[in-house]
Structure 1
Amino acid sequence: MEHRLLGKTGLQVPVVGMGTWITFDVRGKAALENAHAVVDAAFAAGANFFDSSPMYGQAEYVLSEVLRGRRDKALIATKVWAQSASEGRAQVERALALFDQYIDLYQIHNLVLWQVHLTMLEQLRDAGQVHAIGATHYSSSYFGELQRVMRTGRITAIQIPYNPLQREVEREILPLAAELGLGVVVMRPFAEGDLMRRTPSKADLAPLQPFGVTTWAQALLKWILSDPRCHVAIPATRNPGRISENAAAGEPPWFGPDERALVARLAVRRR
């Protein structure tokens, strides 16, 4: 799988990583064993960038459990999501305890109380417990605020939604990220499953076969990653078999304008 420099973070990341929203908010022995199998598959495929958040219920804990004894092989991105400084500090202390006292990328989730949490994360970065700091938001109505945070010079990465149905970031966010040298993590590559409810036929996807694409999921991921301003996409799955399928989209050759236009047309038609 191709690796890219995640902007000014200095982290070398696989272009396909893994999210944990919903899929890792699980309980019970069988669910934990399945999560372990998913992470095993991720390591085997080279998709060792894992994104989580305290907002995701048990996800941070479950991820830490299945990484026990191999935390050093993973790149961990998580978030602070709190309405007070004390709650934010408690979240961070819990995450550090779960992940061997070190977080590769700590993000401010949905810009909640970002001025306060940013100062705390800077202190942790200076203390060597956090490598890089980022900010996230899923809603285009907050992209103006996200740009404000980006322009402070105090973060080195952002996480935003991007797929053929959600392209608002193309207008200002992606150009600004490139201008500032920020890393870009892409959430919701499948539009929260909306793009996977009806998939194109093999005949529809045939023009993409020379690019190593055999499935609709691969087409969508390669559509995103063919934009060099995007460094890592984080699809989530409970199915270990999906990991290798997703990871296969992380290898060149990349789409040109014609292939990206085809995927965009198919995405609209599938709705």
Structure 2
Amino acid sequence: MILTRRGMLKLSAGAGAALVLGPVPTFVQGDLIERPIPSTGELVPAVGLGTARTFNAGASESELAPLREVLAVFVEMGGKVLDTAPAYRKSETVSGILAEQLGVTDRLFMATKVAARDRERGIAQMENSFDLLKRDVMDLMQVHNLRGWATLLPLLREWKAAGRIRYIGITTSRSSQYDDFEAVMRQEELDFIQVNYSVGEPLADERILPLAIDRGMAVLVNEPYNRGRLFDAVRGVDLPEWAAEFDADSWGQIFLKWIIGHPAVTCPIPATTQARHARDNMGAAYGRLPDAAMRRRIASFFAGL
């Protein structure tokens, strides 16, 4: 089954909450944008799914149903990277339940986090994450906001060597941590970093992203909409005509494509509770991307609002 970008969007739009997942469609070469993980060359789709503040839901069907549709649309449109964490309260539990219900537990590139000051608590936390996400092997384990990194990174390497973890990394969502974050990047061999980055908060451009390229580290991007502030800034503003030059159909796609257009970025991880937003977010993983000149134009346009 070969689908173009617009064909995939149309198919997904009609899928509905009761979507039953079949084989992942085959896309025209170059249509679904994928990025390599530098340490292995493994390809992952250029848009992922975050769960912070969105998948922290109860067990009732009324709470799970819209999130199930989000995950179903995400996977049907080619998405794989799902990022969660114990700190996101019930998000790991909900992610594991929904993935199992949809039969996609082993299709997803599952990324979670650990934050503990000592080894024993780190082990207990990771074992619990494996149980909740229903995985024997975790694709990516990240030290959350650098908490306990000096203790936890050696532990993560042990689990990686034992085959329980495929990739390891560190995360931050605060520019106030960038000095420490950069120091760990320079000191440690990491497969991934995760950092906050958006057209409204581009500070990672200065040192973090160039260093990731130099060190051969994949980059996940959190807060791609700067906690919703980007949408507040463009409320009532018409989509510019030049958005069509890189196949962006919405402001959300402009913001995501601006991020993906950076050569260091592997995958932004926008979070949502609505299937239509998941569909729109995944649309940014199709078509053309803004080049360096267009990215400057987007940044200038946004700065002028």
- Aligned partner (choices 63, 66, 69) of residue 31 of structure 1: 63
Match runs of 1:82-121 below 5 Å: 82-98=116-132, 99-121=134-156
Distance 2:76 2:36 in 1: 21
Q: Answer yes or no: is 1:181 the counterpart of 2:212.
A: no
Structure 1's 9 and 191: CA in aligned 2 closer, same or farther, altered over 3 A?
farther
Task: Give, as a single letter, the amino acid of the residue that structure 2 aligns with 1:157.
Answer: F
Match of 2:17 in 1: none
Distance 2:158 2:43 in 1: 23
Please give the secondary structure, in 2, of the residue aligned with 1:73. Answer: coil
Distance 1:10 1:123 in 2: 22
Match of 2:105 in 1: 71
Cα deviation, residue 163, structure 1: 0.6
- Aligned partner (choices 209, 226, 242) of residue 261 of structure 2: 226
Cα deviation, residue 87, structure 1: 2.1
- Aligned partner (choices 80, 93, 105) of residue 48 of structure 1: 80
Please give the secondary structure, in 2, of the residue aligned with 1:100. Answer: coil
Contact kept in structure 2, 1:9 and 1:132, CA below 8 Å: no
CA displacement, residues 167-186 of structure 1 (integer Å, 9 cap, x when unaligned): 11111111111011100001
CA displacement, residues 29-68 of structure 1 (integer Å, 9 cap, x when unaligned): 2111221111101111111110000010000010000111
Match of 1:13 in 2: 44
> Which blocks of at least 5 consecutive residues in structure 1 are unaligned?
none
Q: Answer yes or no: is 1:58 the counterpart of 2:93.
A: no
Cα deviation, residue 258, structure 1: 3.4
Distance 1:97 1:174 in 2: 33
Distance 1:146 1:220 in 2: 24
Task: Give, as a single letter, the amino acid of the residue that structure 2 aligns with 1:16.
Answer: V
Cα deviation, residue 223, structure 1: 0.5
Matched residue pairs, number?
Answer: 270
Contact kept in structure 1, 2:56 and 2:89, CA below 8 Å: yes
CA displacement, residues 76-105 of structure 1 (integer Å, 9 cap, x when unaligned): 010002233222211100111233221101
Cα deviation, residue 228, structure 1: 1.5
Match of 1:245 in 2: 280
Contact kept in structure 2, 1:9 and 1:182, CA below 8 Å: no
- The runs of 4+ residues in structure 1 deviating greater than 3 Å are 200-204
Under a length normalisation based on structure 2, what TM-score does the superposition of the two structures give? Answer: 0.84
Q: Identity across aligned pairs (percent)?
A: 30
Match of 1:214 in 2: 249
Contact kept in structure 1, 2:239 and 2:250, CA below 8 Å: no
Match of 2:33 in 1: 2
Please give the secondary structure, in 2, of the residue aligned with 1:160. Answer: strand
Contact kept in structure 1, 2:144 and 2:172, CA below 8 Å: yes
Cα deviation, residue 252, structure 1: 3.5
Instruction: Tell me whether 21-30 or 152-161 shows the greater mean CA deviation.
Output: 152-161
Instruction: Tell me whether 220-229 or 253-262 shows the greater mean CA deviation.
Output: 253-262
Instruction: Tell me whether 244-253 or 261-270 shows the greater mean CA deviation.
Output: 261-270
Match of 2:195 in 1: 160
Please give the secondary structure, in 1, of the residue aligned with 2:111. Answer: strand
Root-mean-square deviation (CA, aligned residues, Å) is 1.6
Task: Give, as a single letter, the amino acid of the residue that structure 2 aligns with 1:85.
Answer: R
Instruction: Tell me whether 21-30 or 199-208 shows the greater mean CA deviation.
Output: 199-208
